[in-house]
Structure 1
Amino acid sequence: MSEVIVVGAGPTGLLLAGDLAESGVAVTVLERREGGVSNLSRAFGVHARTLEQLDARGLADRLVPMGAVLRKVRLFERVEVDLGALPSRFPFLLITPQYNVERLLLERALAAGVEIVYGAGVRAVAQDAAGVSVATGAGEFRAGFVVGCDGYHSVVRQALGLPFPGKSVLKSIMLGDVRVAEPPAGLLTVNGVGDAFAFIAPFGDGFYRVFAWDRRRSVPDDVPLELAELREVTRRALGSDFGMHEPRWLSRFHSDERQVPHYRIGRVFLAGDAAHVHSPAGGQGMNTGLQDAANLSWRLAAVVRGGAPQQLLDGYHRERHPIGRSVLRSSGAIIRAAMIESAAGRALRGFAARRALSLPAIREKITGQLSGIGYHYPAPHGAPGQTGTRAADQPLTGGSRLYEALRHRRFVLITDPTGHPHPTGHPDPTGHPDPTGHPDLSGWHDRVHTATPATPATHGSPLTLIRPDGYIAWTGTDTTGLHQVLPTLVGAAGSRTL
């Protein structure tokens, strides 16, 4: 029996499954498709925080050459968001199709030993005190925990009886992957004019992704889309159709804003589009799902393999639900601004946006939300103030970096680079003296990796504990506090190893 079942082999499910397998958890992925990576995907961009998460899995440097780097994002007319100053190793938006991300995550998951069962559409999910049973067309499966990463029409969510409140924002959006005879001047071109809206960006393989919407024409999603219609609406919105030809995919879809009220019900979790869907504005959908997976995977590994208390799993909903709500609001604001119909309204929109972006605090907030760099999690009551904030990459002694150290799927304890005793002088609770400032991690060395920065600590404390998802778990000045917090985060000392 698997310890965790992941439903859905899209990017969210594959990142989660790969993390768990690399942590020693037995994982089965159930996928309703018959196999392979689909190239019929809507996602087109990978933001900085997601690239950092992929960097912590050894994948970012493989993905970046597969796409086009965009350091400025044009929202409409002359309004641009500059990502070049982001405090990250990846100060840009990477334009690349979702299937490139999915392919790398699939390779990693399989290499880690993940079992993927294709043609296993879920029919029912039932949980009891001991585990969860999942009935599929390929048979019945059982595990201690189940994570539904099965998209907008999530059967797992429906089986839990959870509502998916929200509404459709745009209907009959046109979507196409096409070649162009006259490439746009910029990497990403987007604009809304009157009753037409369009977006076009390169995939890097000779094809361009085009979104288009016509306020005057709303038809069901299953009405066939012809290239001529896509060209005509794009021409109205952008002033040119760029000589579109040779479409490899044309489709319609509708854009909803929805979020499930609970990301966890007992032993069952929801992540990605099964938990929240947003407008495509800002390209944050896939990115938010991957961040969900990164947040949940280390918690499940700590509980399943490290013996950490199950209350640790409650933090997933507590941290990720507000982020999903924030993305829903920000992407919705972008799409509503783009839909303004009157010329006067569009002029006011441009003026207000440029004015806001001229103010450093607002500009930093906007770029932080768009890229994911600016999000942080609330610190639990009584926790140090840095708890829950994103840990920036930093060089370590020996020539490595923090995000390279995170590839071990363990917590990383950043120690005092001076090697001096800690200010409090407290001894290690195990009875071992701590004269050099390097704590004794006997019993936890398999789950906590100790590293020393190449430069003095930036967090104001001799000890900083970094979670596997790259957020600060704890900071302090002595090993007493460290040994008090470790059992709640990684499990008991000497328990079943990762």
Structure 2
Amino acid sequence: MEQQVVIAGGGPVGLWLAAELRLGGVSVTVVEERMEIDRRSKALTVHPRTIEVLASRGAHEAFLAEGTPIPGGHFAMLDDRLDFRVLDTPFPYTLSLPQARTEELLEERALALGARMARGHRVTGFTEHADSVTVRVEGRDGVPYELRAAYIVGCDGSRSTVRTTAGIDFPGTPATVVGWLGDVVLDDPPRPGFSAFGPQGGVMAVPLPGGRHRVVGVSPDGLTTEWPGDLGMEELRAKVVAVTGQDFGMRDPEWLSRFGNATRFAAQYRRGRVLLAGDAAHQHFPAGGVGMNVGIQDAHNLGWKLAAALGGWACDGLLDTYHTERHPVGAQLMEHSRAQTALMTGFTPEGLDLRSLLSGMIATQPAFNRALSERLTALAVAYPPADPVAHPLTGTRAPDLTFTGSANGLFARLRADGYVLLDLTPDRALAGLAGRRLTVLTAALDRPPAVWAGVRAALIRPDGHVAWAGTETDDASLAAAARRALATRRRP
């Protein structure tokens, strides 16, 4: 069976990638080993940048309707929470939504757009050729078969078969911390946003649909390289009582689990016709609820580039920029996770004092709160431009710019299969540049951000990042600069 792309793994990352590829006109098969979506949700949080990603494709409304907005987030279980209300986004909050429901919504979208889903099937390996990949799959009945595709993308988790078969190194550090969690009923639940931390450990309680809570934490006895075995209900109760002095009426566990802080990072996100995204590319301690979000953002960066390469409109080297842009983001994720792990295991007097110091800075230093919030939510992600004299906006995430006389902002105008050229001149100087894979949006900015002062045109990539910004005051010079920018970024 011929497919342009085979995606191994049908979690949130693979599903968003499948939808993006379909919007770009690419045929895609998602091969997922699970027969059905796992109801035990690892992730519970959708971050502001991920909501922006969804909004840029008109896919956010269902998430907003079902998720619970929380105007902040925790960093390493510090007492003072980050305040997201100061962020420059239409969505200055996280959404509390179980991963199982996120997967359902994303699968519905991918299937509606024409992606093929092979549930109960498993990628067992592949052979790469000069112009294609032959993917070996074990079917639901155990009978092997093959799929032929132009590319294979591994979205198949930290034990990725795709990464292993490709021979891509996954270096890092082993687990030295073991955390724990339980999805339980609490007859006497704590207040929303509850967390507690002290010499006996740290605990958070997060409400779940159906009247349950997720109780999650770390303890001094978890500072070990030995796996303690399965978590039992009475052990969970004892750990919570040791920190908080009570068990909140804990009963009826639905899921008890442990997790470690093994941290590994793929050396390459692309090798030939093989690409990696999400947990297949980066494994880390689940601090701050960022893992799924970074994976979806990987897929958002990759989707349009892969579609452009297959559609023949990619500029030279575009697909290679997936690694050069997202690999540093993965490295920053590793740094953040390790830093939070150190703080979340700071049970000594020195560790407790460090936590108190940083928590106080979040509460009293607005610039620190904002900088940390922008990094945690990925709103600060910017891709360094190849041209050292490019406008400072180049590579940054474009905000949801609003336009005079229009109810729709920039996110609603973005397209997955082409660029948007903002013509901010009063006399429509760039209107004649519109064409295949390029929409020219002539408009005036309503209350433009300070960093956009003097910008008369900007080229916005399908993933919402600025590809070029022009400040030439002469219309002819501006149009010439726009043509040069287009010529180096996409084929007509």
- Residues 255-310 of structure 1, C-alpha deviation per residue, up to 9 Å, x if partnerless? 32111111110111100000001211111100110110011111111111143235
The corresponding residue for 1:206 is 211
Quote the offset at 1:340 in angstroms. 1.0
> Equivalent residue for 2:395?
388
After TM superposition, give the deviation of residue 219 of structure 1 in Å: 9.0
Q: Which deviations, in whole Å up to 9, do the C-alpha atoms of 1:80-110 show, x marking residues without a partner?
A: 2111111111111222211122111111100
Aligned to 2:120: 119
Q: Which amino acid in the other structure matches residue 440 of structure 1?
A: G
Shift of 1:454: 4.9
Partner of 1:461: 455
- Return closer, same or farther for 1:145/1:355 CA change in 2, 3 Å cut-off: same
Identity of aligned residues (%): 36
Looking at structure 2, the residues matched to 408 and 271 of structure 1 have their Cα atoms a distance apart, in angstroms, of: 18
Higher mean C-alpha displacement, 15-24 vs 308-317: 308-317
Among 400, 409, 434, the residue aligned to 2:408 = 400
CA distance in 2, matches of 1:43, 1:451: 40
Q: CA RMSD in A?
A: 2.2
Q: Could you tell me how far apart the structure 2 residues matched to 1:90 and 1:178 are?
A: 30
Tell me if structure 2 keeps the 8 A contact 1:308–1:488.
no
CA shift for structure 1 position 190: 3.0
Tell me the matched-pair count.
Answer: 473
Equivalent residue for 2:238? 232
The answer as to whether partners of 1:178 and 1:245 remain within 8 angstroms in 2 is yes
Letter in 2 for 1:473: A
Displacement of 1:414: 1.3
Letter in 2 for 1:450: L
Q: Please show how residues 93-172 of structure 1 align to structure 2 within 5 Å.
A: 93-138=94-139, 139-172=145-178
SS of residue in 1 equivalent to 2:292: helix
TM-fit CA distance, 1:164: 1.2
Judged with a 3 Å threshold, the aligned counterparts in structure 2 of structure 1 residues 451 and 223 are, in CA distance, closer, same or farther, namely farther
In structure 2, the CA distance between the partners of 1:451 and 1:228, relative to structure 1 (3 Å rule), is farther
Contact 1:193/1:236 (CA < 8 Å) preserved in 2? no
- Secondary structure at the aligned position of 1:373 is classed as coil
Distance of 1:237 and 1:468 partners within structure 2: 47
Aligned partners of 2:58 and 2:344: how far apart in 1? 37
Residue identity opposite 1:94 in structure 2: L
C-alpha distance in structure 2 between counterparts of 1:316 and 1:286, whole Å? 18
2:201 maps to a residue whose letter is A
- Aligned mates of 1:370, 1:362 — CA distance in 2: 12
In the alignment, the residues of structure 2 paired with residue 329 and residue 200 of structure 1 have an alpha-carbon distance, to the nearest angstrom, of: 25
The equivalent of 1:486 in structure 2 is 486
SS at match of 2:317: helix
TM-score, with length taken from structure 2: 0.90
Is 1:411 matched up with 2:403? no
CA distance in 2, matches of 1:88, 1:442: 28
Q: Hey, what does 1:26 align to over in structure 2?
A: 27
Q: 1:449 to 1:184 in 2, by over 3 A?
A: farther
Deviations 1:230-278 (A, max 9, x none): 1221222344322122222222232321111111101111000000012
Paired position in structure 2 for 1:272: 278
Decide whether the 8 Å contact of 1:4 with 1:27 is kept in 2: yes
CA contact (8 A) 1:43 1:286 kept: yes
Offset of residue 47 of structure 1: 0.9
Aligned-partner Cα distance in 2 for 1:438–1:309: 21
Q: Which amino acid aligns with 1:201?
A: V
Alpha-carbon spacing, 1:359–1:213, altered in 2? closer, same or farther (3 Å) = closer
Q: How far has the Cα of 1:215 moved from its partner?
A: 2.9
The Cα shift of 1:453 comes to 4.2
Q: Which residue of 2 aligns with 1:197?
A: 202
- Aligned with 2:433: secondary structure? coil
Contact 2:423 2:440 in 1 (8 A): no
8 Å contact from structure 1 (residues 63, 100) kept in 2: no
1:161-217: CA deviation from partner (whole Å, max 9, x where unpaired): 12211123454432221121122212x333332242322211244222222333325
Aligned to 2:475: none
Gaps of 5+ in 1: 421-435, 494-498
Choose 228-237 or 113-122, whichever is displaced more: 228-237
Contact 1:97 1:203 in 2 (8 A): yes
The CA deviation at 1:339 is: 0.6
Give the superposition deviation at 1:485: 2.6
SS at match of 1:331: helix
Asked if structure 1 preserves the Cα contact closer than 8 Å seen for 2:124 and 2:137, the reply is yes
1:362 aligns with 2:354: no
The answer (yes or no) to whether the contact 1:412–1:451 under 8 Å persists in 2 is: no
